[in-house]
């Protein structure tokens, strides 16, 4: 692995809306749609492999509007978006396992991009 992996993906669905169903839980339509969009976005970026079993530091910078048009703060818990990202990356980056994350940084950035910049670094 190079020193740090850099990727950009669309903002995922919140864990609160990722699953549907009462007796049989399954991915919601919103989650499936996000995964399709994320697949397109990741296919446009370099392919990465993480070799070895080092601990990882993951940094997620969420570029999103932080305020409504009236100026009030939006209620957005970025921790609720992390699970979908880590699960997606575990399926798309060889050697990335979310249990290897020792440190995680979540940051909101005022923006209309609606994307998350991802940095993954091995901790040695």
pTM summary value: 0.90
Digit-coded pLDDT (tens) for 19-40: 887 778 889 999 999 999 999 9
CATH number of the domain that residue 97 is part of: 3.30.1330.70
Q: What is the domain count for the chain?
A: 1
Q: Which residues contact 78 (CB under 8 A, 6 or more apart)?
A: 60, 62, 106, 107, 108
- Edge-to-edge strand ranges of the sheet holding 4-10: 4-10, 115-123, 55-64, 101-110
Q: Quote the domain boundaries for residue 100.
A: 4-123
Residue 71: predicted pLDDT: 92
Digit-coded pLDDT (tens) for 82-117: 999 999 999 999 999 999 999 999 999 999 999 999
């Amino acid at each position: 692995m190079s020193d740090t992996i850099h990727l950009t993906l669309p903002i995922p669905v919140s864990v609160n809306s990722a699953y549907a169903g009462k007796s049989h839980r399954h991915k919601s339509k919103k989650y499936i749609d996000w995964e399709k969009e994320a697949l397109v976005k990741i296919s446009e970026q370099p392919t990465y492999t993480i070799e070895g079993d080092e601990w990882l530091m993951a940094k997620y910078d969420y570029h999103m509007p932080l305020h409504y048009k009236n100026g009030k703060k939006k209620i957005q818990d970025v921790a609720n978006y992390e699970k979908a990202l880590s699960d997606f990356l575990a399926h798309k980056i060889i050697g990335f396992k979310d249990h290897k994350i020792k440190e995680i940084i979540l940051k909101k950035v005022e923006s209309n991009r609606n994307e998350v910049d991802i940095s993954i670094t091995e901790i040695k």
